[in-house]
């Protein structure tokens, strides 16, 4: 039988190092966290060869005393834990594993000098072998140099990616840490290329520097509190999304994290307004009582356990939902627009042959509800009040309607001189869904019984799927029942739909339900059903509108939550600013 034996200390350290330091980015993260815990006000990170060849971290923190340098390289030796129950952890690091793990897998040099010490001192460790502590030159703070990462563990080194890919991961780790600590100046250099050099900043300025000023300029402020948990930060509007989660930052009690619960909460908060495959932009900061948070989940310390995970999820979703319900806004200060006298080209519908864009809308005499009635009427029976000839400067954010392009897109002139293009179907779809959602939440969605019930044929599996949702659909005013194998009998439809195509609506719902996210079954089913009801109720592309109808649509968009995107997450309007128009025509600098 094999003999049980104790592993050598160096082997134990190398095994443990694999849990903590799996790539250069992990080593960078641990060393920068040490610098932050040391109270540094400036941190410089220098990378060579993606961090595989060399990592250098320089900070101006409190430093490590001569007598503690060697001790700092021992496993589970730390100055950060004052409460060994692991209940109140107020520092980024606390396990005492980072330095010995790095020293077990690479060549590590520490040069440190605390305030009041005559000179700096140096200690080196290579593959777990620690040198004597000796004097060195150095200013207050600590300088950590990591060379030949994983030279002592070639099996791990073999699985590293290219230096470029590893460097990008390391840069990303510093990016997260810099976002979490705007009170600290950060400088990041990779292969002699300065990635960023940031001074001490407030949080908004740090987000602008790392997200990009154009992106940050569109973000919305967020502030909420519940049961001792505080949420603050900046989030993107519904119209701002990215193909990846690169512009998502989560900081909990000053700790940058990649937490599944927070990521899921953010996704759920945006699920109605961001299309599938796109991701919201957000920089969120949570403050949680220490006793309600467990950070000792994984050696990497990027995942958490919340004592009240449901409460945190509810806080995030609710706060973001309320922020997204703010009215549409394109500009703060209204600007008087010049009069325009235009003739419609082919495919362009002007509501009147001469339109003064400074004229006020006729919606003051007629609201959107009346305009909707006009939408349902044949074009020959529509009647609208005459437009006034002139009026004061127009001040609504989405501007004054100029005309209609291809009977699908409304063109408007915004107060700041920009042009606004509105997708009439997408916009009306959002307005209708929000109205239906309000009625549903108030228990007021009315069902309209059909004089002659409609029979719709499906495959047996589709019919069974719809019948499973019969109770959900009944809440939305759609009453169905089985009618033999593979057939559904429709007895009532939502009164608000104004005689839709029952068969088309049911087939769309069957498709939506088949794609619902299982863990969110009820919410997903209700959302899918409301979105489809709204789609079947909305005005279509290709519908010619009168100016009063266009204006009523724009005004209700400004007053409706989440009106910047449709029910499927696509934008309802686009804006072309003066700067963008000048760039398109090559007029920059003229």
**pLDDT over 50 at 367, yes or no:** no
Flag whether 138 is in a domain: yes
What mean pLDDT comes out for the span 214-223? 86
Q: Last residue of a domain, which of 289, 324, 359? A: 324
With respect to residue 548, please indicate whether it lies within any of the assigned structural domains.
yes
Tell me what pLDDT residue 81 has: 52
State how many domains the chain has: 3
- Which tokens in the block code for residue 337? 């627009």
Of the candidates 198, 219, 241, which is a domain's last residue? 198
Q: Is the dihedral of CA 19, 25, 29, 32 positive or negative?
A: positive
Domain residues for the domain of 231 are 209-324
Res 384: pLDDT = 35
536 falls in which pLDDT band (50, 70, 90)? low
pLDDT at 174 > cutoff 90: yes
Summary mean pLDDT of the chain: 77
The answer to whether residue 338 is domain-embedded is no
Whether residue 572 has pLDDT greater than 70: yes
Of 176-185, 264-273, 309-318, where does the model show the most confidence? 176-185
In a shared domain, residues 193 and 219: no
Q: Based on the fold, state whether residues 247 and 101 are members of the same structural domain.
A: no
Q: Give the end-to-end CA distance of the chain in Å, rounded to a whole number.
A: 87
When pLDDT is cut at 50, 70 and 90, the band that residue 139 belongs to is very high
Q: Are both 570 and 459 inside the same structural domain?
A: yes
Residue 356 counted as domain residue: yes
Q: Could you tell me if 435 and 489 lie in one domain? A: yes
With beta carbons less than 8 A apart as the criterion, state whether 233 and 285 touch: yes
Residue 9, pLDDT > 60, answer yes
What is the structure's pLDDT at 212? 87
pLDDT band at residue 466 under the 50/70/90 scheme: confident
Q: Which of 132, 165, 198 is a domain's end point?
A: 198
CATH code for position 470: 3.30.1370.100
pLDDT at 473: 80
Locate 257 and state its tokens. 């994290």
**Does pLDDT of 150 surpass 80?**
yes
Q: Note the pLDDT tens digit of each residue in 252-295.
A: 999 899 888 999 899 888 887 887 778 899 999 999 988 888 77
Query: What average pLDDT does the segment 463-475 reach?
Result: 81
- Looking at the fold, whether 425 and 526 belong to one and the same domain comes out as yes
Segment 537-546 mean pLDDT: 68
**Domain assignment present for 500:** yes
Calpha distance 71→224 (Å, rounded): 43
Confidence of residue 566 (pLDDT cuts 50, 70, 90): confident
- Buried b / exposed e across 414-444, counting CB within 10 Å, b at 16+? bbbbbbbbbbbbbbbbbbbbbebbebbeeee
* Residues 312 and 265 placed together within one structural domain of the fold: yes
Verify that 373 and 507 share a domain, yes or no: yes
Confidence bin at 513 (pLDDT 50/70/90): low
Mean pLDDT for 75-100 is: 63
Distance from C-alpha of 55 to C-alpha of 9, rounded to nearest angstrom: 25
Report yes or no on 186 lying in a domain: yes
Residues 108 and 216 in one domain: no
Question: DSSP readout, 138-167?
Answer: --SEEEEEEESTTTT-HHHHHT---HHHHH
Number of H helices and number of E strands within the chain?
Answer: 17, 26
Q: Cα–Cα distance between 420 and 576 in angstroms, integer?
A: 6
pLDDT for position 1? 74
Residues of the chain above pLDDT 70, percent: 73
Calpha distance 454→366 (Å, rounded): 36
**Whether residue 222 sits in one domain with residue 286:** yes
Let me know if residue 112 belongs to a domain: yes
Mean pLDDT of 554-563: 81
337 inside domain: no
Q: Are residues 139 and 31 in the same domain?
A: yes
**pLDDT value for 528:** 58
* Predicted confidence (pLDDT) at residue 136 exceeds the cutoff of 90: yes
Say whether both 396 and 259 belong to one domain.
no
Q: Does 241 lie in the same domain as 189?
A: no
Q: What is the model's pLDDT at position 354?
A: 36
Over residues 380-392, the mean pLDDT reads 37
- Please name which of 397, 418, 372 lies closest in space to residue 543, comparing C-alpha atoms: 372
- Res 366 pLDDT > 70: no
Q: pLDDT tens-digit profile of 328-354?
A: 654 332 233 333 334 444 555 555 433
Query: Domain of 247: which CATH number?
Result: 3.30.230.10
At residue 457's C-alpha, the angle toward residues 452 and 460, to 5°, is 135
pLDDT digits (tens, 9 = 90+) for 369-380: 445 544 444 443
Q: How confident is the model at residue 148 (pLDDT cuts 50, 70, 90)?
A: very high
CATH of the domain at 17: 3.30.565.10
Kind plus residue range of the DSSP H or E element containing 573? strand 573-576
pLDDT at 399: 81
Averaged over 216-222, what is the pLDDT?
87
pLDDT computed for residue 332 by the predictor? 32
pTM equals 0.64
Does residue 365 carry a pLDDT above 70? no
């Amino acid at each position: 039988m094999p003999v049980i034996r104790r592993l050598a200390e160096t082997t134990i350290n190398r095994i443990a190092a694999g849990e903590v330091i799996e790539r250069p980015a992990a080593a960078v993260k641990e060393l920068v966290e040490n610098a932050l815990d040391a109270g540094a006000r400036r941190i410089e990170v220098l990378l060579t060869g993606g961090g595989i060849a060399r990592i250098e971290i320089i900070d101006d923190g409190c430093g490590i005393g001569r007598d503690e340098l060697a001790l700092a390289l021992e496993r589970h030796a730390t100055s950060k834990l004052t409460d060994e129950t692991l209940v109140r952890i107020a520092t980024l690091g606390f396990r005492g594993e980072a330095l010995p793990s790095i020293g077990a897998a690479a060549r590590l040099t520490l040069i440190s000098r605390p305030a009041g010490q005559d000179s700096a001192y140096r200690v080196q460790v290579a593959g777990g072998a620690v040198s004597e502590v000796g004097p060195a030159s150095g200013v207050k703070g600590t300088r950590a140099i990591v060379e030949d990462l994983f030279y002592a563990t070639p099996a791990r080194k073999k699985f590293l990616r290219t230096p470029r890919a590893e460097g990008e991961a390391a840069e990303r780790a510093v990016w997260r840490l810099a976002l979490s600590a705007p009170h600290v100046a950060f400088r990041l250099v990779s292969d002699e290329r300065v990635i960023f050099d940031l001074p001490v900043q407030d949080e908004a300025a740090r987000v602008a520097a790392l997200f990009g000023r154009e992106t940050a300029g569109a973000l919305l402020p967020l502030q909420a509190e519940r049961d001792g948990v505080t949420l603050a930060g900046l989030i993107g509007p519904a119209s701002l999304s990215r193909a990846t989660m690169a512009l998502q930052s989560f900081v909990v009690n000053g700790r940058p994290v990649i937490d599944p619960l927070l990521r899921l909460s953010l996704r759920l908060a945006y699920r109605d307004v961001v299309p599938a495959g796109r991701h919201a932009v957000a920089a969120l900061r949570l403050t949680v009582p220490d006793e309600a948070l467990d950070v000792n989940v994984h050696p990497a310390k990027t995942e958490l356990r919340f004592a009240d995970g449901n409460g945190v999820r509810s806080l995030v979703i609710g706060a973001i939902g309320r922020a997204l319900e703010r009215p549409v806004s394109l500009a703060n200060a209204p600007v008087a627009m010049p009069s325009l006298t235009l003739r419609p080209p082919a495919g362009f519908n002007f509501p009147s042959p001469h339109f003064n864009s400074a004229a006020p809308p006729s919606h003051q005499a007629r609201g959107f509800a009346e305009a909707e009635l006009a939408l349902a009427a044949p074009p020959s029976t529509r009647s609208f009040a005459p437009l006034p000839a002139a009026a004061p400067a127009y001040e609504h954010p989405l501007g004054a309607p100029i005309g209609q392009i291809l009977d699908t897109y409304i063109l408007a002139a915004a107060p700041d001189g920009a042009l606004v293009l509105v997708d009439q179907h997408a916009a009306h779809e959002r307005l209708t869904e929000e109205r239906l959602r309000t009625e549903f939440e108030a228990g007021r969605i009315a069902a309209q019984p059909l004089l002659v019930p409609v029979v719709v044929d499906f495959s047996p599996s589709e019919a069974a799927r719809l019948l499973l949702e019969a109770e959900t659909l009944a809440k939305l005013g759609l009453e169905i029942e089985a009618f033999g194998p593979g057939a559904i009998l429709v007895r009532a439809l939502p009164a608000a739909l104004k005689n839709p195509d029952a068969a088309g609506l049911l087939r769309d719902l069957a498709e939506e339900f088949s794609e619902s996210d299982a863990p969110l079954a009820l919410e997903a089913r209700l959302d899918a059903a409301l979105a489809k009801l709204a789609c079947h109720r909305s005005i279509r592309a290709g519908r010619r509108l009168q100016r009063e109808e266009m204006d009523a649509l724009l005004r209700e968009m400004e007053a409706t939550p989440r009106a910047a995107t449709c029910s499927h997450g696509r934008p309802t309007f686009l804006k072309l600013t003066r700067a963008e128009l000048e760039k398109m025509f090559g007029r920059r600098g003229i």
